[in-house]
C-alpha cells in the first residue's frame, strides 16, 4: 500500500517494524484493533467519545531481556530498529496534522538500562507537550526497572501510564520471564506512582490460577489505585522457547475481564467467584454463575437493599444501583420509576421485592429460576 504521508524508506521500515511490533506487545489492550488499510502502527482505542485512532509503537524492539513468550527477546533473531527521539516526534506530528491519529501509545523493549530508554520515551512526550503544545492523549508504558523518579516524571507528562505485572506471583513471572522481578523492579514502580495506572497479565502460560490474578487485581486496586487490568491470552511465537506451548484460551481471557470488573467495580471478592480449583466458571459469565449458585440471597428488598446487594441482582450494575438508591431517597420506588430509571423488570424483577411483594409476578420465570 502506498504511504499516505511523506515518510522516507528507512523511516517507513521502522514504522512498519515497530508499529507491527506493538501488535505483539503483550502490553496492548485487546480493545485496540488495527485500522485496516491504514499505516502501520495506527490502532483504534475505545474512549467515552467513541473510537480514537492512536499511533501505537515501540520506541525500540532491541531487548536485552529473555522473556520466553516474547517475539523481541534477546533469544530471538529478528531485525532490530530504534527511533530517534526527534524522528518519532516528527512522525507522530505528521500523522496527527493529517488527521490520521489523535493520540500516542508508546511502549518499548529494553535494550540495556531501563532508565536510558525510558528517558528517551519521556523526552518524546515532553517535546510534544512543551514544544508542540500537544494536549491530546498519550499513554506511556513504564518499563520494568525504571527508577521511581523517572516513573513519576513519566506519569506527570502522560495522560495515562501502565506498569505490566505480566504474572500474579514472583515464581510464575520467573518461570516465563527470568530476568524480570515483581518485588525487585515492578512493584516498587506501582508503589511510587502517584496517579492511577493500568496493568496487564499474560494468561495461560505460567500455570497461574484465575484466583491468583483476581487477588492481585484486588490488592492493586485497593492499595495502589489500579484503574484497570488487561489480559493477554498467551500466543506462541515461532523461534521462542515457548513456541510449542499451547495458546491461552480466549474464553478464559473473556472470563477474566468479566471477573476483574466484578472485583474492581461490584465489590465481589475473588474467592466468591472462583470454583474450588481456583478458576472462574467457563460457559457462563461469573455474575450469572454466582447468582445461580446463591439463589438463597434473593429476592432482595428494594426498601432496604444496600448498594452492594443491588449490584448482585442480575441486570443491575453500578449506574443502575445508584439510580435505585436515588429513587428510594426521593420516595419514588415504583414499577414505573424503576423502568424509567432503566431497570429491566423482566431480568431483574424476579430477584427483587418491593415492600415484601415480588416486583414482577412471572410464574414461569420464578419457577425456572427456583425463586418460587
Ligand atoms: S522486556 Fe521482555 S516482553 Fe518486553 S520486549 Fe523485552 S523480552 Fe519482550
Instruction: Write down all domains in the chain, each with its CATH number in brackets.
Output: 1-162 (no CATH), 167-293 (3.30.750), 294-368 (1.10.150)
Position 2 scores a pLDDT of 41
pLDDT digits (tens, 9 = 90+) for 305-363: 999 999 999 999 999 999 999 999 999 999 999 999 999 999 999 999 999 988 875 54
Give the list of residues 6+ apart from residue 10 with CB closer than 8 angstroms, or none.
none
- Of all protein residues, whose CA lies closest to atom 5 belonging to ligand 1? 109
Per-residue burial over 326-346, b if 16 or more Cβ lie within 10 Å, else e, is: ebbeeeebeeebbeebebeee
Q: How many angstroms separate the CA atoms of 104 and 304, rounded?
A: 47
Q: How many angstroms separate the CA atoms of 129 and 124, rounded?
A: 9
Place of cell 504474572: 167
Nearest ligand 1 atom, CA 58: 5
Nearest ligand 1 atom, CA 73: 7
Tell me how far the alpha carbon of residue 28 lies from the centroid of ligand 1, in angstroms: 13
Place of cell 486496586: 221
Contact 21, 36 (CB under 8 A): no
Place of cell 515464581: 171
Best residue among 17, 26, 65 to mutate for probing ligand 1's pocket (most ligand atoms within 8 Å of CB) is 65
Tell me how far the alpha carbon of residue 281 lies from the centroid of ligand 1, in angstroms: 31
**57, containing H or E segment:** strand 50-58
Q: Kindly indicate the confidence band of residue 59, based on its pLDDT and cuts at 50, 70 and 90.
A: very high
Tell me how far the alpha carbon of residue 301 lies from the centroid of ligand 1, in angstroms: 52
DSSP label at residue 355: T
Q: Kindly indicate the confidence band of residue 297, based on its pLDDT and cuts at 50, 70 and 90.
A: very high
Q: How many angstroms separate the CA atoms of 55 and 7, rounded?
A: 15
Give the list of residues 6+ apart from residue 348 with CB closer than 8 angstroms, or none.
313, 314, 315, 316, 359
Q: Would you say residue 32 has pLDDT above 60?
A: no
Position 213 scores a pLDDT of 98
Percentage of the residues of the chain whose pLDDT score is greater than 90: 80
Q: How many angstroms separate the CA atoms of 15 and 25, rounded?
A: 15
Residue ranges around ligand 1 (CB below 6 Å): 63, 65, 67, 70, 72-73, 109-110, 177
* Average pLDDT, integer, range 138-147: 96
Q: Kindly indicate the confidence band of residue 13, based on its pLDDT and cuts at 50, 70 and 90.
A: confident
Percentage of the residues of the chain whose pLDDT score is greater than 70: 88
Candidates 254, 295, 293; CA nearest to 276 is: 293
Position 171 scores a pLDDT of 96
* Average pLDDT, integer, range 287-303: 96
Q: How many angstroms separate the CA atoms of 360 and 357, rounded?
A: 9
More confident residue, 350 or 38: 350
Q: Would you say residue 28 has pLDDT above 50?
A: no
* Average pLDDT, integer, range 191-197: 85
- Of all protein residues, whose CA lies closest to atom 7 belonging to ligand 1? 73
Per the prediction, the chain carries an average pLDDT of 89
pLDDT digits (tens, 9 = 90+) for 169-191: 999 999 999 999 999 999 999 99
CB atoms within 10 A of CB 74: 16
Place of cell 438508591: 325
Q: Kindly indicate the confidence band of residue 219, based on its pLDDT and cuts at 50, 70 and 90.
A: very high
Position 241 scores a pLDDT of 95
Contact 266, 245 (CB under 8 A): no
Tell me how far the alpha carbon of residue 25 lies from the centroid of ligand 1, in angstroms: 8
Q: Would you say residue 38 has pLDDT above 70?
A: no
For residues 120, 224, 325 and 287, what is the CA-based torsion angle, rounded to 10 degrees? 90
Tell me how far the alpha carbon of residue 74 lies from the centroid of ligand 1, in angstroms: 8
Give the list of residues 6+ apart from residue 27 with CB closer than 8 angstroms, or none.
107, 141, 162, 164, 200, 230
Tell me how far the alpha carbon of residue 63 lies from the centroid of ligand 1, in angstroms: 6
Candidates 154, 150, 153, 148; CA nearest to 191 is: 148
Tell me how far the alpha carbon of residue 84 lies from the centroid of ligand 1, in angstroms: 20
Q: Would you say residue 82 has pLDDT above 80?
A: yes
Q: Kindly indicate the confidence band of residue 7, based on its pLDDT and cuts at 50, 70 and 90.
A: low
Q: Kindly indicate the confidence band of residue 22, based on its pLDDT and cuts at 50, 70 and 90.
A: low
* Average pLDDT, integer, range 276-297: 96
Among 19-28, 43-52, 150-159, where is mean pLDDT lowest? 19-28
* Average pLDDT, integer, range 266-286: 97
Contact 200, 162 (CB under 8 A): yes
* Average pLDDT, integer, range 69-80: 93
- Of all protein residues, whose CA lies closest to atom 2 belonging to ligand 1? 67
Tell me how far the alpha carbon of residue 144 lies from the centroid of ligand 1, in angstroms: 9
Rounded to 5°, the CA angle 298-308-29 comes to 115
Q: Alpha-carbon Rg of the chain, whole angstroms?
A: 24
* Average pLDDT, integer, range 121-143: 97
Best residue among 110, 112, 141 to mutate for probing ligand 1's pocket (most ligand atoms within 8 Å of CB) is 110
| Cell numbers at 342, concatenated | 432503566
| Cell numbers at 47, concatenated | 474512549
pTM of the model: 0.88
Best residue among 70, 81, 167 to mutate for probing ligand 1's pocket (most ligand atoms within 8 Å of CB) is 70
CB atoms within 10 A of CB 133: 7
Tell me how far the alpha carbon of residue 331 lies from the centroid of ligand 1, in angstroms: 57
Amino acid at each position: 500500500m502506498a504511504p499516505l504521508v511523506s515518510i522516507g524508506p528507512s523511516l517507513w521500515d521502522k514504522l512498519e517494524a515497530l508499529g507491527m511490533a506493538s501488535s505483539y506487545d503483550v502490553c496492548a489492550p485487546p480493545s485496540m484493533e488495527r485500522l485496516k488499510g491504514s499505516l502501520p502502527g495506527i490502532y483504534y482505542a475505545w474512549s467515552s467519545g467513541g473510537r480514537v485512532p492512536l499511533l501505537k509503537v515501540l520506541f525500540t524492539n532491541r531487548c536485552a531481556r529473555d522473556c520466553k513468550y516474547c517475539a523481541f527477546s534477546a533469544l530471538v533473531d529478528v531485525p532490530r530498529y530504534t527511533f530517534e527521539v526527534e524522528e518519532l516526534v516528527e512522525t507522530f506530528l505528521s500523522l496527527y496534522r493529517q488527521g490520521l491519529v489523535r493520540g500516542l501509545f508508546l511502549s518499548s523493549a529494553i535494550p540495556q538500562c531501563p532508565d536510558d530508554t525510558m528517558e528517551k520515551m519521556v523526552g518524546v512526550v515532553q517535546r510534544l507537550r512543551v514544544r508542540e503544545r500537544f494536549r491530546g492523549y498519550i499513554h506511556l508504558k513504564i518499563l520494568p526497572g525504571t527508577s521511581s523518579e523517572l516513573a513519576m516524571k513519566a506519569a506527570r507528562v502522560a495522560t495515562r501510564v501502565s506498569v505490566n505485572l505480566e504474572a500474579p506471583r514472583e515464581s510464575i513471572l520467573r518461570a516465563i520471564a527470568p530476568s524480570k522481578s515483581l518485588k525487585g523492579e515492578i512493584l516498587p514502580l506501582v508503589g511510587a506512582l502517584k496517579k492511577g495506572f493500568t496493568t496487564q497479565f499474560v494468561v495461560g502460560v505460567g500455570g497461574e490460577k484465575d484466583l491468583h490474578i483476581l487477588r492481585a487485581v484486588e490488592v492493586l486496586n485497593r492499595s495502589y489505585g489500579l484503574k484497570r487490568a488487561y489480559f493477554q491470552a498467551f500466543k506462541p511465537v515461532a523461534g521462542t522457547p515457548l513456541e510449542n506451548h499451547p495458546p491461552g484460551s480466549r474464553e478464559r481471557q473473556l472470563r477474566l475481564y468479566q471477573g476483574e470488573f466484578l472485583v474492581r467495580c461490584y465489590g465481589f471478592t475473588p474467592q466468591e467467584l472462583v470454583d474450588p480449583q481456583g478458576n472462574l466458571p467457563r460457559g457462563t459469565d461469573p455474575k450469572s454463575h454466582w447468582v445461580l449458585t446463591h439463589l438463597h440471597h434473593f429476592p432482595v428488598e428494594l426498601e432496604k437493599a444496600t448498594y452492594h446487594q443491588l449490584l448482585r441482582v442480575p441486570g443491575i450494575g453500578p449506574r443502575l444501583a445508584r439510580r435505585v438508591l436515588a429513587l428510594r431517597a426521593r420516595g419514588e420506588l415504583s414499577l414505573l420509576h424503576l423502568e424509567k430509571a432503566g431497570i429491566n423488570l423482566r431480568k431483574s424483577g424476579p430477584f427483587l421485592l418491593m415492600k415484601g411483594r415480588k416486583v414482577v409476578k412471572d410464574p414461569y420465570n420464578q419457577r425456572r429460576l427456583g425463586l418460587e
